[in-house]
Chain A
């Protein structure tokens, strides 16, 4: 039985700190939502209590969609995220599989190289990369970001997938080989299906990272029609010193929704991916 003292203890050790964490972590999202549905007279008045909305309006959303290229940006973001995720998981798999399961000359060098490319931060690469993209005449094309995002995502996917591929017992593969399966068949029909959770983790992680990417998109996509949501919102909705906060928050919220929805379906895989590198199982 839970007595009065135990309950007090539980409130003190669980519910109060938990409430603090939840409020701190979620308040900015509440703020996005409430700002996006406030009419301007409530937004820019210092007399109105700001934590609530009195006369909610969808005007900012309508303006965002009709007056800006927001829908185009959303389309661009999704297209780039899907293409780069597929490319990165496929190429990441093709790197991780031999590294995890085969013995071949040069394996150690490749393994170290992949780890190094994962840890090389983007700020070290963006200036030379901008020159390379210019020379390839890919400025202001989505191809530019589709080529550069996988540099962040492939090493990560490979790193993550190696752990999963190592966990499949060699006997399963050998049994298939004795039954006449080629190496490729053993990979695609035996090992990969068993590693579906790993492939999902790599996929969902790559997708959220691709949606989040900012620096390359900022450098390569200077025309409105090719921009992604974060770049469009930051560069076009902030106009000089005049801020359109309602629209900005509507854009920030709508831009976050696709990631949040996909994430909500695959939370467990996302968390598995997050912890795979740091927690040994």
Chain B
């Protein structure tokens, strides 16, 4: 690289302030760079967020002016049995799928952490459920679980397990379990592949040392593998929980919250009230109901990241 005259590089003290030299200042440069993105996020994330809180305090129907009603929407919700059902549904959905994805994903990672031919190709294929547009793969599941032509029913009936097929999406508890299965199917590869990356940071020396000390496979897993991948495990789970709380399209496409609200979660119920029924104020209030749980998670995650 050619060395240029020194005066070009360093601003001389007392030199008049030009636009260019101003731009060379760290603070000015940083803020000029940041501004477009930050302004965009303020306008389209921060503003809608606070506007949503404002809406939740109004009786606001679509295409009409809102009337300020204070906390009336929240009071109405607290007395609505459906609201509490939706709350239970949401927590059940998040909790059960998280356990399944975590256990299944860990299993997937442990299996994939062995050396075998075609491992990268297998990894690419195993991630497919996670990258393919969810609404589209959910439609495939809808057909797999079809009341009349379900292939699962066909296999169960012809395998002699049951005599007549289930109506997977028509029965309240089967519909919820169907959602759990599809969400697990889509999310498990995310756990599997990120945990695999965590496993691959474990030095083989550690296992050798443990083996020399006479550790069994289970002991090696509990005392070598788990402690090392614990940070990854916690972060992946937290992210997944936060995003599962906000899950919408899988439920909307598979059950629409039905039958009879049995599978409605906050996001789909808020959509029904706010969009389909046009009650923007009440819908915004429903959506905000996930905020407390979410805030606890986000604060927890932040503290964990700080401590690590």
Selected interface stretch from B73-81, B124-132, B168-176: B124-132
Does A103 count as interface, using CB distance less than 8 angstroms? yes
Given the interface pairs A127-B284, A154-B41, A256-B136, the reply to whether A94 lies near B151 with Cβ below 8 Å is no
Chain A 13-34 interface mask (CB, 8 Å, partner B; 1/0): 1100110011011101101100
Does A259 count as interface, using CB distance less than 8 angstroms? yes
Query: Are A24 and B185 neighbours in the complex by a CB distance under 8 Å?
Result: yes
In the complex the two chains form, what is the Cα distance from A44 to B302 in whole Å? 52
Q: Which of B45-78 contact A (CB under 8 A)?
A: 45-49, 51-52, 55
Our pick among A106, A117, A183 for the contact of B23 (Cβ within 8 Å) is A183
Query: Are B33 and A94 neighbours in the complex by a CB distance under 8 Å?
Result: yes
Query: Are A21 and B128 neighbours in the complex by a CB distance under 8 Å?
Result: no
Does B1 count as interface, using CB distance less than 8 angstroms? yes
Number of interface residues of B (CB under 8 A): 102
Q: Which of A216-270 contact B (CB under 8 A)?
A: 218-219, 229-231, 233-234, 238, 243, 245, 248-249, 251-253, 255-256, 259-260, 263-264, 267, 270
Our pick among A110, A215, A230, A233 for the contact of B38 (Cβ within 8 Å) is A110
Return chain A residues, CB-CB under 8 Å to B27: 102, 104-105
Closest B residue to A279 by beta carbon equals B197
Does A6 count as interface, using CB distance less than 8 angstroms? no
Query: Are B151 and A214 neighbours in the complex by a CB distance under 8 Å?
Result: no
Selected interface stretch from A55-63, A64-72, A144-152, A191-199: A144-152
Minimum CB–CB distance from B217 to chain A (whole Å) comes to: 10
Minimum CB–CB distance from B287 to chain A (whole Å) comes to: 5
Does A7 count as interface, using CB distance less than 8 angstroms? no
Does B224 count as interface, using CB distance less than 8 angstroms? no
Minimum CB–CB distance from B90 to chain A (whole Å) comes to: 10
Does B92 count as interface, using CB distance less than 8 angstroms? no
Number of interface residues of A (CB under 8 A): 103
In the complex the two chains form, what is the Cα distance from A104 to B38 in whole Å? 15
Closest A residue to B111 by beta carbon equals A17
Identify whether the interface residues of A are mostly helix, strand, loop, or mixed: helix
Given the interface pairs A22-B126, A103-B26, the reply to whether A256 lies near B137 with Cβ below 8 Å is yes
Return chain B residues, CB-CB under 8 Å to A107: 30
In the complex the two chains form, what is the Cα distance from A123 to B49 in whole Å? 10
Return chain B residues, CB-CB under 8 Å to A167: none
Q: Which of A178-218 contact B (CB under 8 A)?
A: 178-180, 182-184, 208, 211-212, 214-215, 218
Query: Are B128 and A131 neighbours in the complex by a CB distance under 8 Å?
Result: no
Does A160 count as interface, using CB distance less than 8 angstroms? no
Does B154 count as interface, using CB distance less than 8 angstroms? yes
Our pick among A25, A92, A98 for the contact of B128 (Cβ within 8 Å) is A25
In the complex the two chains form, what is the Cα distance from A280 to B220 in whole Å? 22
Does B258 count as interface, using CB distance less than 8 angstroms? no
In the complex the two chains form, what is the Cα distance from A259 to B127 in whole Å? 12
Closest B residue to A130 by beta carbon equals B275
Our pick among A21, A116, A184, A263 for the contact of B126 (Cβ within 8 Å) is A21
Our pick among B41, B122, B139, B271 for the contact of A233 (Cβ within 8 Å) is B139
Query: Are A256 and B288 neighbours in the complex by a CB distance under 8 Å?
Result: no
Return chain B residues, CB-CB under 8 Å to A28: 129, 137, 140-141, 144, 185
Does B210 count as interface, using CB distance less than 8 angstroms? no
Does A43 count as interface, using CB distance less than 8 angstroms? yes
Minimum CB–CB distance from A136 to chain B (whole Å) comes to: 11
Chain B 264-287 interface mask (CB, 8 Å, partner A; 1/0): 001100110011000010011001
What 6 new A-B contacts, CB under 8 Å, besides A13-B114, A154-B40? Answer: A24-B185, A25-B128, A121-B290, A131-B51, A214-B249, A263-B127
